[in-house]
Amino acid sequence: MSDTPRTDEAQFGTGRVSVNFACQLERELNAANDRIKRLEEAGDELGNNHNPFTYIDWLKAKEAKP
């Protein structure tokens, strides 16, 4: 199975995708990155105000990005 199934499905016979499809993927990527940033900021804030052991777990999880 491909790691880019949506792109594979949207390709024309030449292996290219439409500009609209590429723009949609970029909008989704930007939205996902913004959400990740907000979640990290919220996790940092929670960790600063609560149990230090939980905060250590949060830092480990935060660093485990692919």
pLDDT confidence of residue 30? 97
Name the pTM for this structure: 0.71
From first to last of the 66 residues of the chain, give the pLDDT tens digit.
789 999 999 998 888 999 999 999 999 999 999 999 998 888 787 766 666 667 777 778 778 766
pLDDT confidence of residue 44? 80
d(CA 47, CA 17): 43
Tokens of 21: 């499809």
The answer to whether the beta carbons of residues 39 and 33 sit under 8 Å apart is no
pLDDT confidence of residue 7? 93
